[in-house]
Amino acid sequence: MAINNRVKIANDIELKDRLVAINRVTKVTKGGRTFSFSAIVVVGNEDGIIGWGLGKAGEVT
Does residue 32 belong to any structural domain of this protein? yes
Which CATH number belongs to the domain containing residue 28 in this structure?
3.30.160.20
Domain count, the chain: 1
pTM of the model: 0.66
Range of the domain at 27: 10-57
- C-alpha distances out from residue 39 to 4, 54, 60, Å: 29, 6, 9
pLDDT one-digit tens code per residue, 4-61: 666 666 667 788 999 999 999 999 999 999 999 999 999 998 888 899 999 999 988 7
Does residue 37 belong to any structural domain of this protein? yes
Does residue 36 belong to any structural domain of this protein? yes
Whether the CB-CB separation of 18 and 52 falls below 8 Å is answered with no
- C-alpha distances out from residue 45 to 8, 17, 28, Å: 12, 9, 41
> Could you give the 3-state DSSP secondary structure of residue 55?
strand
Whether the CB-CB separation of 13 and 6 falls below 8 Å is answered with no
